[in-house]
Amino acid sequence: MILTNVKRILKAGFFNFWRNGFVSLSSVLVMTITLLAIGAVIFMGVILNTSLSEIKSKVGVNVYFVTTATENEVLGLKTELEALPEVDEVFYTSRDEALAQFKARHADNEITLQVLGELDENPLGASLAVRAKDPTQYQLIAQFVQDKNILSSNGIPIVDKVNYTDKAVIIERLTKVISSTEKLSVIVTLVLVIVSILITLNTVRLAIYTSREEISVMKLVGASSGYIQGPFIVTGVMYGLIAGCISLTLLYPFTYWLGGLTQDFFVGLNVFNYYLAHFGQIFFIIMSSGVVIGAISSFIGTKRYLDL
Amino acid sequence: MIYFDKVSKIYADKSIALKDITFSIEPKEFVTIVGHSGAGKTTLLKMILAEEKPSEGSVFFESTNINSLRKHQINMYRRRIGVVFQDFRLLPNKTVYENIAFAMEAAGRNDEEIESDVPHVLELVDLEHKIWNFPRELSGGERQRVAIARAIVNQPDVVIADEPTGNLDPISTYDVVQVFKKINDLGTMILLTTHNKGVVDALGGRVITMEGGTILRDDPKGGYVL
């Protein structure tokens, strides 16, 4: 009997959808907009997060050493820095590596390379790139290195330059900008999503409002509440599924079009590639949002006509 | 079988719909209720359907007090009553077949029963050729006969009809009255309200006349007197 009921409810839900063609169409369209808003939230979040971590990874304290500093002295400071609780990672660039990087950077600049070739010795010193766990802590780390003032065996300070001070202002500003952008975009998108969910709810309720007479007739022939609500919920879920498919299809050209734009503007994230790479996740989020919103709207929409 | 015991209904705005009504209806009886608009006919029927609760007194169906039923018991109880309305109230997005099948599905009948009973009951109201039409494709009289078919398909103990001929022309009215007579002959209690003198006279059964929420007259073989 339960199986028969489920079958009947599914069938009735499908017929509801099909025979109320225009109402279904408008509900699907409104829900598509809601789901696109949810999709926009996903992409917005990803873009901001990648930008933030990219920028964070680009700032850091660079400690440059004099050419006479030995590798052991440099590595000794590295170990000390790594022991600090504020420090996330320390990258060591040896003198040879620095030279190789320099050469690679100026590969198409003959004169510079020629000048470099004239020199007997590698003019570049080793360096340490320090990354903090939190951008606000760079000042502390820079201070720490400067205060140490390590001297080499022959009495000369091995640290040539700590370049935090150059970036301090930028780091602080970026941190502020990013966090306020993040807050603002979360608020804006949340409002957008809530508004579109309310519109969807209202559209579905309106669709059910046209059926209120039917619901009262169903009550009077003795149908149980579940048996009356079931088909409406099935119809709502169908709105969600179809709107989900439309949204996912629309996101393809949207992200393709925006892909190049975001790649140039935001640090190298191409939303189109992201969309393709995370299709499974996005599919799941959009589809389940559609299904849940559809089902809940129908449930709420029918509820008020059931209390006879 | 249906018994009203000192029933009164006073709405929230203090208007009195029913005043101290007591009467009973036996199984297989055909009862016509007549009266002006606002006499309390519809309220009376709504009480039998458990749509309205009496302010005082109680309504019994067999030995059950209808007002003490719980929600799911009301669903079960309503399956024993067939209802016909003045405005038909068919489900507009379902075919004639599906409209009748819906009442059977709601009552938990299986597919085989539905497939065999629906054409049968449509034959009874002489509409077997319209089985796949939608209500909008039918005339008023045909729609009302579909509504009657829906009301009787679960073999209810009672059929309640609230002004079933109110929207119909004389010929359709005659058809509908004949259908009700046929159903009554098959052993179902029928409770019908009407304004139509012709209908009352054609039926010639028990007539309850109401006015201002009270029973003015209850004639076992009455006519239309107002």
Q: What is the pLDDT of residues A30-59, one digit of tens each?
A: 889 888 888 888 887 787 777 777 766 666
CA proximity to A246, closest of A206, A288, A279, A286: A286
* pLDDT at residue B222 is higher than 80: no
Nearest chain A residue to B92 by CA: give it. Answer: A214
Residue B4 pLDDT more than 90? yes
Find which of A23-32, A151-160, A275-284, B128-137 is predicted with most confidence, using mean pLDDT.
B128-137
Disruptive mutation site among B45, B48, B78, B112 for chain A (greatest number of A CBs within 10 Å)? B78
> Bigger pLDDT: A271 or B34?
B34
**Got the DSSP string for A133-196?**
SSGGGHHHHHHHHHHH--B-TTS-BSEEEE-HHHHHHHHHHHHHHHHHHHHHHHHHHHHHHHHH
Task: Kindly report the backbone phi and psi dihedral angles of residue A304, in degrees, each rounded to the nearest multiple of 5, phi listed first.
Answer: -70, -20
Q: What is the CATH code of the structural domain delimited by A67-157?
A: 3.30.70.3040
Could you write out the DSSP letters of every residue in B65-110?
EGGG--HHHHHHHHTTEEEE-TT----TTS-HHHHHHHHHHHTT--
Mean per-residue pLDDT for A236-249?
93
What domains can you pick out in chain B, each with its CATH number? 27-43+77-219 (3.40.50.300)
User: What span, in angstroms and rounded, lies between the C-alpha atoms of A180 and A160?
Assistant: 36
Å between A304 CA and nearest CA of chain B: 15
Task: Provide CB contacts within 8 A for A74, sequence distance 6+.
Answer: A65, A92, A126, A128, A158
User: Searching chain A, which residue's CA lies closest to the CA of residue B72?
Assistant: A224
**pLDDT score of B142:** 93
Contact A134, A65 (CB under 8 A): no
Nearest residue to A61 (alpha-carbon basis) of A153, A146, A157, A174 = A146
Is the pLDDT reported for residue A275 higher than 90? no
Q: Tell me, what's the pLDDT at B93?
A: 82
Q: Which of residues 96-135 of B touch A (CB under 8 A)?
A: 102-103, 105-108, 110-111
Q: Which two tokens stand for residue A131?
A: 């990354």
Mean pLDDT of A206-212: 80
The predicted pLDDT at position B134 comes to 94
Query: Is the confidence at residue B60, as pLDDT, over 60?
Result: yes
pLDDT at A81 over 70: yes
The one-letter code for the residue type at A114 is Q
Q: How far apart are CA A235 and CA A229, in angstroms?
A: 10
Task: With CB atoms and an 8 Å threshold, state whether B111 touches A16.
Answer: no
Residues of B in contact with A8 (CB under 8 A): 105
Joined tokens for residue B58:
């109680």
Whole-angstrom Cα distance, residue B140 to residue B143? 5
B226, B35 Cβ separation under 8 angstroms: yes
Least confident of A106-115, B49-58, B70-79, B180-189: A106-115
pLDDT of res. B226: 64
A149 pLDDT above the threshold of 80: no
The pLDDT of residue A165 is above 60 = no
CA of B109: how far to CAs of A8, A17, A232, in Å? 12, 25, 21
Residues 272-291 on A with a CB inside 8 Å of B are none
Integer Cα distance of A55 and A139 in angstroms = 17
CA distance A28 to chain B (A): 19
User: Nearest by CB to A221, which of B72, B76, B78?
Assistant: B78
Cβ <8 Å between A221 and B90: no
Residue A268, both tokens = 């190298």
Specify the 3-state DSSP secondary structure of B55: coil
Alpha carbon of A240: minimum distance to chain B alpha carbons (Å): 22
Instruction: For chain A, give the percent of residues with pLDDT over 70.
Output: 89
Domain with CATH 3.30.70.3040 in chain A: 67-157
Percent of chain B with pLDDT over 90: 50
Residue A155 has pLDDT above 80, yes or no: no
> ipTM, 2 decimals?
0.73
Which token pair is A245? 């498919």
Average pLDDT, chain B: 89
Find the angle CA(B117)-CA(B119)-CA(B124) to the nearest 5 degrees.
90
Separation CA A31–CA A266 (nearest Å): 30
Token pair for residue A201? Answer: 């709810």
The residue of chain B with its CA nearest to that of A308 is B51
Q: Is the pLDDT of residue B189 over 90?
A: yes
Q: Looking at per-residue confidence, does A209 or B115 come out higher?
A: B115
Q: Which residue has the higher pLDDT, A60 or B169?
A: B169
Q: Is the pLDDT of residue A213 over 60?
A: yes
Establish if A220 touches chain B: CB-CB under 8 angstroms. Answer: yes
**Smallest CA–CA separation between A308 and chain B, in Å?**
7
Per-residue pLDDT, A105:
78
Could you give the CA distance from residue B161 to residue B165 in angstroms, rounded to a whole number?
A: 9
The closest alpha carbon to B205, from B40, B34, B24, B29, belongs to: B29
Residues of B in contact with A24 (CB under 8 A): none
Q: Do A221 and B93 touch (CB under 8 A)?
A: no
Closest partner CB to B91 (pick from A214, A219, A224): A214
Mutate to test the interface with B, among A213, A219, A221 (most CBs of B within 10 A): A221
Mean pLDDT of B169-194: 91
**Which chain B residue's Cα is nearest to A220?**
B78
Rounded average pLDDT over A85-109: 80
CA distance A232 to chain B (A): 13
Q: Is A4 on the interface with B (CB under 8 A)?
A: yes
Q: Quick check: A110 pLDDT over 60?
A: yes
∠ Cα B208 B210 B211 (to 5°): 160
What's the mean pLDDT when you consider all of chain A?
81
Listed range (A45-59, A85-99, A187-201) with the worst mean pLDDT: A45-59
CB–CB of A150/A73 below 8 Å? Answer: yes
Q: Check residue B103 and give its pLDDT.
A: 87
A308 touches chain B (CB under 8 A): yes
Highest mean pLDDT among A64-78, A211-225, B113-127, B211-225: B113-127
Can you tell me the mean pLDDT for B160-189? 90
Question: Which 3 state secondary structure label does DSSP give A226?
Answer: helix
Can you tell me the distance from the alpha carbon of A29 to that of A199, in angstroms, rounded to the nearest whole number?
11
Is 80 exceeded by the pLDDT of residue B46?
Answer: yes
Residues 6+ apart with CB under 8 A from A190: A41
